[in-house]
Amino acid sequence: MKKIKAALISVYYKDGLDVLVHSLAKQGVTFYSTGGTQAFIEQLGYPVVPVEELTSYPSILGGRVKTLHPKVFGGILARRENADDLAQLKQYDIPEIDLVVVDLYPFEETVKQYTSLFAGEMTSEIIEKIDIGGISLIRAAAKNFSDTVIVSQKSQYAVLAQYLDENDGQTSLEFRQEFAKQAFGVSSHYDTLIHRYFASQQPYEAFKESYLAGEALRYGENPHQKGYFYGDINEVFDILNGKQLSYNNLVDIDAAVHLMAEFSEPTFAVLKHTNACGVASRPAVVDAWKAALAADPVSAFGGVLITNATLDVATANEIDKLFFEVLIAPAFEPEALQILMKKKNRILLQQKLFSFPAKQFKSLLNGVIAQDFDKKIETAEELRTVTKIAPTAEQTADLLFANKVAKHLKSNTIALVKDGQLLSMGCGQTSRVDALQQAIHKARSFGFDLQGAVMASDAFFPFPDCVEIADKAGIRAVVHPGGSIKDQDSIDYCDAHGMAMVLTGIRHFKH
């Protein structure tokens, strides 16, 4: 165990710092500090040795250089069991510094304030939030954890204060090593954020991602697998009710919010294993829910539900009849929330406004693959009619709806839609014919009449067999990317049987 006798404290965030300062003062610790932190400690009633007095140099270059001095770093890095180090401390009148409390300028928060990087004065503001002295102090103290305690984030203030109160102002080697490990995590994360900013113009020159907050999940996809989430779920949702989110919950939730981002009109969706088994748009939320559920009430059991409208009482009463894992909405009426919270394990998430990352990643083999998120949303103006008959306005609306849904289903996929309602889908099939036949079978099994429905495919039709099967089922309009050398065969079939076909030119595979 080692006693803390002297502490260097220089922090940006001071909320909660008073608890630690009071604890250190009780132990008779000498304080060294700078600027605003020095004033904060003095206001608490404790004397402070200014760093300028220790170094005999003022803060210079507009505050860019304050602590970068041998008298500071010598006191932090000196090995207490090394006679030569101790002799040099004495020779140059350098005090031993046993504790360093420092955080970093809010670089990430500053970047988030701006939507355009490298834009005149905005860049200057961001550059000034690249910490030099703080990151150096963190690394120095963490390196010398044998003798020095490093507090690198405000969440540790109270932890250290309690530990010192319980251990007569002393710390163990294991405690110092744990804080050093966390400090290197902070410094690594910080450098990654800076690199990401500078590499924003060439985002794939190096793969660097960092998430400070890691949370152990109940398990992974299966109970025998460990699972973890690295991120901050509280940036995306207010968790209003329910048990801890699981690995599978998070995967389904991610799929749900990406799907719902496609729709602006009041819409409800039901997902199971990342695939939408029900989607509908209606003026009233309760009607959207009923229509979404009707597409596959069997698969909806235990599913993830999401809407882009306020969850009202009428809808809550209807949803309350179903067992589900997760419900996501941008807002809940208070009475609706009371209805849904009666079952304590139901996970209720209120979605906040947040920005999706620009890139998505997946680990495989001995590395990582990365790509842009598929954010393309086709519009009516981009649809190219290739048949003699053009789709009606109503059919065009359904074709766009079906295309949005198909984009978020596992390939190979087919989505069948009528009147703003997903009637059924076939997904994850090894052939497009199988996907279509699955969709037709499901629609009929739940009592839907496909006469007048439309069909969307995530990729082109290599043969006219799919449009022929669709025609015989009553489907009257088709949307797909096109691009097959035999596109004309499918077009000719549609012309011969009074069907409309439009091409998007955009494929939406999802593996």
Q: Establish whether 273 is a catalytic residue.
A: yes
Among candidate residues 3, 143, 154, 290, the one labeled active-site is 143
Who's near 488: CB < 8 A, 6+ residues apart? Answer: none
Interatomic CA distance for residues 492 and 403, integer angstroms: 22
Interatomic CA distance for residues 148 and 142, integer angstroms: 7
Beta-carbon count within 10 A of 412 CB = 20
Residue from 317, 315, 328 nearest 242 by CA: 328
Phi first, then psi: give them for residue 14, nearest 5 degrees.
Answer: -110, 0
Interatomic CA distance for residues 68 and 296, integer angstroms: 65
Task: Determine the straight-line distance between the first and last CA of the chain, rounded to whole angstroms.
Answer: 54
C-alpha dist (Å) from residue 128 to 106, 133, 183, 190, 294: 10, 12, 22, 14, 56
Helix 70-77, helix 83-91: angle, nearest 10: 150
CB 317 within 8 A of CB 295: no
Please say whether the dihedral angle defined by the alpha carbons of residues 385, 387, 388 and 390, taken in this order, is positive or negative: negative
Interatomic CA distance for residues 61 and 66, integer angstroms: 9
C-alpha dist (Å) from residue 210 to 194, 246, 457: 11, 21, 37
Interatomic CA distance for residues 107 and 129, integer angstroms: 5
338's enclosing H/E stretch is helix 334-340
Among candidate residues 2, 3, 273, 497, the one labeled active-site is 273
CB 297 within 8 A of CB 289: no
Q: Classify 437 as helix, strand or coil.
A: helix
Q: Which two tokens stand for residue 53?
A: 């007095």
Q: Classify 86 as helix, strand or coil.
A: helix
β-bridge partners, 102: 10
Interatomic CA distance for residues 36 and 42, integer angstroms: 10
Phi first, then psi: give them for residue 464, nearest 5 degrees.
Answer: -80, 5
What ranges make up the beta strands (E) of 183-341?
214-216, 228-230, 237-241, 267-272, 275-281, 304-307, 326-329
Q: Establish whether 22 is a catalytic residue.
A: no
Give the catalytic positions in this structure. Answer: 143, 273
